[in-house]
Amino acid sequence: MEHLFAPWRMRYLRGESRTASNGGCLLCEIPEKGVSRDRLVLHRGSLCYVVMNAFPYTSGHLMVVPIAHGASLSDYPTDTLCEMTKLLKECEGIIQKVYQPGGFNMGINVGHAAGAGIAGHLHSHILPRWEGDTNFLTTVHETRVVPEDLRESYDRLLPFFQHL
């Protein structure tokens, strides 16, 4: 019998991943140091930043996050939303080069009822997807297998973000 260990998931299950070290908003705290392997920040623009999801659905799962705090699209000026969209476009191209997926899921969940893990700070997700990437673990056991370590993914993606 094989065993799948994912001890890092316990932080997510306990809710430790949703609050900052000071008890505030995690998504406000993450970009404070700019591009950072420790915080998984790949790029910081003037209004938004790109960060790897610490609890990814797939390798290459990224998030584009406004630097300013706000819970929904209506909380942001158009220039922030334009930069967010521009960065999603850049992420799509970079993920395509690095992972060669067959497609993408992109989305924004506004509020807990919509599935937002951090409902108080708007963020968008972009996930590479491949034909047949749903397997029995996901379907039957509600478990995902992410085949690549987060830091390895970071190291593969970072060079492509350095030109932005």
**Positions marked active-site:** 123
CA angle 79, 39, 115 (to 5 degrees): 65
Q: Which of the 8 DSSP states describes residue 124?
A: E
- The whole-angstrom separation of Cα 119 and Cα 111 is 5
115: left (phi over 0), alpha (psi -120 to 50) or beta: left
Give me the residue label for tokens 């699209």.
73
Q: Which two structure tokens, joined as six digits, stand for 115?
A: 């599935």
| 99-125 core/surface letters (b: 16 or more CB in 10 A; e: else) | bebeebeeebbeeeeeebebbbbbbbb
